[in-house]
Every structure is written in structure tokens, then in C-alpha cells.
Amino acid sequence: MAKTTFYHAGCPVCASAKHDLNTILGRSKFDVEIVHLGEQPAALPAAKQAGVQSVPALVMENGSVLHINFGVDINALG
Amino acid sequence: MAKTTFYHAGCPVCASAKHDLNTILGRSKFDVEIVHLGEQPAALPAAKQAGVQSVPALVMENGSVLHINFGVDINALG
């Protein structure tokens, strides 16, 4: 299964994007790790290193970063 | 099958997002209509009406609009 990571911060835009992605990804063969950066600040460096500039964002297995709408600037999270 | 519409304008960001979405959606049970707004300007009003503010964007069956990264402001297309 392809491995992707969905970063979010519990914001309304994040919740909405998460819902929609669940609709898509739940019907596909993706293994999605959900990371709440507000609750897991230790994951911030990895997210920034992956190229995440804002959340919600989905980091694909190939390294692509899909910023989905705009919830929170990642630098506002720490 | 769920019906979604992917709007783009042939830009580099669009092409990249299209590639990544194909990876996701190609493995799922989604019927995706691809609309190139540069080549199909008649589709612009429907895209704007759906809430698309920039492309690339994916409009979900439930009406949600996922703006994926930022390629082109839709108002720059006409």
C-alpha cells in the first residue's frame, strides 16, 4: 500500500479537508497516517522537512506535497 | 461511482497535482472529469459557481472544493 501522511492542526479547514480526503482515500488503497501537529509538535520538523508550508497537507509517497486549501501556516504551529 | 471534477489550466502546478491525484483517484472508485479551463473557457462560470478560486482544484460530489496548491487564480483565466 502506498504510504501518505496527512498533516493537520485540528482547524475547521483541516477537519473539512480530512473529511473529504477520507471519502477519497477510504475507497482507495492508501495507507494514510494522520498527524495532528497541535497534539504532536514533535512531528513539526519532519513536516517542514517534507515541504509542508501550511496545513491541511498531504505528503505523498513520492515526496509531493499537496496543500489542500489553507488552514494554518505551519510556522504558526511552532 | 462518486463524481468529482478536477479543474486545471495546464500550468506546472496543475500538472503536478493532476499526476498526484491520478495516483490517488486511479486506485479508487472515483469518476473524475478533467476540465482544462484554458481550453474549455465555457466551463469557467460553472467552476466559479462551484466555488473554485484557483486551479488546480477538485470539486467533490458533496460540493466541497479542494484547492490543491496554487497554480493560477481563476479570475486570471477569464
Q: What is the pLDDT of residues B18-39, one digit of tens each?
A: 888 888 776 566 778 889 999 9
* Angle of CA points A64, A54, B33, to nearest 5°: 55
Instruction: Test B20 with A68 for CB contact under 8 angstroms.
Output: no
DSSP state at residue A24: H
According to DSSP H, which parts of B1-78 are helical?
Answer: 12-25, 44-50
* ipTM associated with this complex: 0.84
One digit per residue, the tens of pLDDT, for chain A of length 78 reads: 467 888 999 899 999 998 888 887 765 667 788 899 999 999 999 999 999 999 999 998 889 999 999 999 999 998
Contact (CB<8Å) A24/B24? yes
Query: Least CB-CB distance to B28: which of A16, A24, A64?
Result: A24
Q: A55: which 3 cell numbers?
A: 496545513
